[in-house]
Amino acid sequence: MAAHFLATLNAIHPFREGNGRTQMIFLELLAAQAGYVLALERLEPDRFLAAMIRSFNSDERLLATEIRRMLEAG
């Protein structure tokens, strides 16, 4: 579900600047609400970008995998 929310937020691209930073803060807050910590140091930019691009075609599986890789139990 987090992948879907993040993909949607990315697709609407609501801000002129700062969309990526806003998306990461959103993802951190979403993870915290679910009892997890988002370990941003685990983010691999090339893999994450590929997952975000793929999500534009309604395939959010890779994005979900990348998000799971960054989660730690809080």
Residue 39 CA neighbour count, 13 Å, CB half: 11
Count of CB atoms situated within 10 Å of the CB of 4 = 13
* pLDDT score, position 72: 86
Q: Model-level pTM greater than 0.75?
A: yes
Q: What is the CATH number of the domain that holds 19?
A: 1.10.3290.10
Does 1 have pLDDT greater than 90?
A: no
Q: What pLDDT, in 10s, does the model give residues 19-43?
A: 999 999 999 999 999 999 999 999 9
Total number of domains constituting the chain: 1
Lowest-confidence segment of 12-16, 47-51, 63-67 by average pLDDT: 12-16
Helix extents (H) in 13-71: 19-33, 45-55, 61-70
The residue range of the domain holding 17 is 2-73
